[in-house]
Amino acid sequence: MTELRRLTQEWIDSDPDQRTREELSRLLSSNDLDELEDRMSSTLTFGTAGIRGVVEAGANRMNRAVVIRTTAGLAAHLLALTDTNERLVVIGRDARPSSEPFMTDAIGVLLAAGFRVRYFAAPTPTPLVAYAGLTMGACSSIVITASHNPPADNGYKVYDETGIQIISPTDSLIAEQVSLVGAANRIPRAADPFGHPESSAIGKDLFEDYLHDLSRSLPEVAGDRSLSIVYTAMHGVGGAFTTEALRRFGFTSVKPVARQFAPDGLFPTLSFPNPEEPGALDLAHELAEATDADLVLANDPDADRIGVSVPDPGGVWRPLTGNQVGCLLAEFLLSNADHPSGHTVINSIVSSPLLAKIAAAHGATTDRTLTGFKWIWNAALDLEEVGAGTLALGYEEALGYSVGTTVRDKDGISAALAFSLMAADAMANGQTVLDLLGNLHRKYGVAVSHQVSIRMEGTDGPELIEAAMTALRNGPPNVIAGRPVVAVTDFRENAADRPRYLPATNLIELDLGSAGRALARPSGTEPKLKIYVDLNEPFPESGDWMGAQAALVSEANDTGEALASWMRDAIER
């Protein structure tokens, strides 16, 4: 362990932050080698959403030293690509306690490296930072955010000159530059980042421009704008922006969840500020029930996702799945497009295959990509270049949606607007969102998607996850929960035969024939293995699609649990 102690001391000596120096020194003095191994044996690397981790001392954590070194590496990468006149970087942050100091350090490094910087002075939705970078012609944009992760986390998300999150090989090239920058306390930083002549705050007019551009991507439907909406920002940064956007588009009956409206990176009413988590929408549902609302909308903390709940026939508030929201939006947007054949709809490979049926019915082009909007938007641009049309909707099942072409990333503000317009249009025609979902199943068949996760915490977690994937790859089961496996696709293989937005990845698809499919992959942001099951069947003759859907979800859960059990057993074999 001599080498571990040496590396730790070197990190301490190079850390510009006294608090994290002392934190790591205490671990070194107490000889807590297991914790030091976890913090120092590796470094955070760019994944699905940049880098993300717990805010603590050490190379494998989020802290000022890591942010400074990462920004210096990014700057070195950009300097090799850009001319002097193109050296503009846009940067914003969420409301987590560490986000402002991290942004300050990043701006300081960029200015010292010769870049101009436009920054958001207050906590700002991630999609607005992406929009600003695209419309201002920035060579890169940075968002300091951990999105919907727990309060202890933070992250660093990077966009390139196209306004899209970076993909390979850019992530590897940046990581290589980071490895060369040296000690964090020796990296030059501007002394007064916010008073520097080459840095300036972004004004409120940018949001006006965003709303103007967004209006061109949304259908012109009258609808019933008296629709009663309960909205929660989940202590994130979306509150003022999403409610104002709804107001501008005529929705005058929007009731915010007051206790969760103001930005607060400590998330006092939530242990896990993610609309997908059980219990996360409890306060919103309580307000919706008390006010007899028609719809619940929930942004995640950086407002790039949207969760939706609707009342069932018994008056109980039910969250819609990400796939239900995505397929409803696709049907709505394509049905109201002047020329649907001039549009594309794209989802991630682990999202519902139902999208392909919807696209075919409307004559639109569709495709699937790896998880992450960096892939969805690269696919959108590639398809547009070959004449397939412009993007109407990109979505992934984890509540991420990109409506139109205003933002080249998932955007919870525009998705909230699009869904509200759809619900208002339905109300004007005497229908509810559940009626629309029933119509969708009647037209395309009952389709459900269900996810099962296996958490594998600790330092051996990645090894266990890889062992489970290797077992599935080398000897997959012939039957899962009574359903025959008719084919297996390993997406680590034959990448050359697929588009660039579906490259080699650690994903395995089990084809269950006409019944559906199951997929398994490691999470890109959390220590867990994810299993996705999609099943479908014809619309029931009885017309009871809700009963058929519930039964099919139960079958999908059984299928997912059976595969999870098989993979757990495979690790032990």
* Residues tagged active-site: 147
b or e along 39-72 (b: 16 or more beta carbons within 10 Å of the residue's beta carbon)? bbeebbebeebbbbbbbbbbbbbbbbbbbbbbbb
Whole-angstrom Cα distance, residue 562 to residue 553?
Answer: 14
Question: Based on the number of CB atoms within 10 Å of its own CB, is 515 exposed (0-12), middle (13-18) or buried (19 or more)?
Answer: middle
Whole-angstrom Cα distance, residue 288 to residue 292?
Answer: 6
Whole-angstrom Cα distance, residue 149 to residue 160?
Answer: 23
* Cβ atoms within 10 Å, residue 256: 19
Whole-angstrom Cα distance, residue 207 to residue 154?
Answer: 25
Whole-angstrom Cα distance, residue 163 to residue 149?
Answer: 23
Residue 357 CA: distances (Å) to CA of 51, 169, 327, 351, 517: 35, 33, 10, 13, 16
Q: How far is CA 286 from the centre of its chain?
A: 27
* Cβ atoms within 10 Å, residue 435: 13
Is the preceding omega at residue 193 within 30 degrees of 0, hence cis? no
Say which amino acid occupies 433. Answer: V
**Token pair in block for residue 496:** 């050359």
Say which amino acid occupies 230. Answer: V
> Looking at residue 305, what DSSP letter applies?
B
Please enumerate in sequence order all residues whose Cβ is within 8 A of that of 430, keeping only pairs 6 or more positions apart, or say none.
none
* Cβ atoms within 10 Å, residue 112: 18
Please enumerate in sequence order all residues whose Cβ is within 8 A of that of 136, keeping only pairs 6 or more positions apart, or say none.
88, 90, 118
Identify the helix (H) or strand (E) that includes residue 53: strand 51-54
Whole-angstrom Cα distance, residue 405 to residue 383?
Answer: 13
Whole-angstrom Cα distance, residue 364 to residue 341?
Answer: 4
Residue 545: CA atoms inside 13 Å, Cβ hemisphere, count? 20
CB of 1 closer than 8 Å to CB of 33: yes
Q: Coil, strand or helix: which one is 543?
A: coil
Q: Please choose, from the candidates 345, 284, 291, 341, the residue with its C-alpha nearest in 3D space to the C-alpha of residue 318.
A: 284
